[in-house]
């Protein structure tokens, strides 16, 4: 698995990542969970706290990758995208929480499974898919600041999260 962690709190910053990826291909925002077999596809990220699973989106290159595989989970009565078989970038957004008046945020991340089991063979994903993830990773590294110390050492912090930390917010129990 390849992944990059960040603290990013503004919709403009998050949408900036999506828009950057759209320079080369048709990126669709797909909700991981739905109640129908059809994919729940969006053009923009949902507002914070706008319903169940607003924080967990998948980014799909509709120009170069097959449609994500949607599987029904009978015990939960909903459909879920199979991220292991689908060429999608997992995009966890940071959520703000409050415990006894102490605000904190979850860590965000982008992640992919860059290898796939086919039968008994582990194969590399298509180059265009790996390249798309690397493009997202480079954007995060360019636009965030990698902290070298403190509770978020090694994680890329964006201006919105930096402001949150300066105003007394902290990181969550990740």
Q: What is the pLDDT of residues 104-138, one digit of tens each?
A: 999 999 999 988 888 899 899 999 999 999 999 99
Q: Is 147 exposed, middle or buried (0-12, 13-18, 19+ CB in 10 A)?
A: middle
Q: What per-residue confidence (pLDDT) applies to 161?
A: 94
pLDDT, average across residues 22-35: 93
pLDDT, average across residues 150-174: 86
Q: What per-residue confidence (pLDDT) applies to 49?
A: 80
Q: Which two tokens stand for residue 96?
A: 């703000």
pLDDT, average across residues 38-51: 87
Phi, psi dihedrals of residue 162, rounded to the nearest 5° = -60, -45
Q: What per-residue confidence (pLDDT) applies to 47?
A: 87
Q: Is the pLDDT of residue 142 over 70?
A: yes
Match 């790996």 to its residue by tokens: 130
Element (H, E) at 163: helix 159-166
- pTM assigned to the model: 0.91
Q: What per-residue confidence (pLDDT) applies to 91?
A: 96
Q: What per-residue confidence (pLDDT) applies to 90?
A: 96
Q: How confident is the model at residue 48 (pLDDT cuts 50, 70, 90)?
A: confident
Q: Which two tokens stand for residue 159?
A: 């201006």
């Amino acid at each position: 698995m390849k992944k990059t962690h960040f603290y990013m709190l503004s919709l403009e910053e998050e949408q900036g990542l999506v828009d950057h990826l759209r320079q080369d291909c048709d990126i669709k925002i797909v909700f991981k969970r739905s109640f129908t077999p059809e994919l729940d596809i969006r053009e923009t990220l949902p507002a914070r706290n706008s319903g169940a699973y607003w924080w967990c989106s998948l980014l799909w290159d509709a120009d170069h990758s097959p449609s994500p595989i949607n599987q029904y989970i009978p015990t939960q009565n909903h459909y879920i995208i199979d991220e292991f078989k689908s060429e999608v970038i997992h995009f966890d957004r940071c959520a703000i929480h409050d415990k006894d008046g102490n605000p904190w945020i979850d860590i965000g991340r982008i992640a992919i499974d860059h290898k796939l089991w086919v039968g008994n063979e582990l194969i590399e994903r298509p180059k265009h898919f790996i390249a798309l993830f690397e493009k997202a990773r480079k954007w995060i590294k360019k636009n965030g600041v990698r902290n070298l110390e403190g509770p978020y050492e090694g994680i890329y912090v964006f201006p919105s999260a930096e402001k949150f930390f300066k105003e007394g917010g902290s990181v969550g129990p990740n």
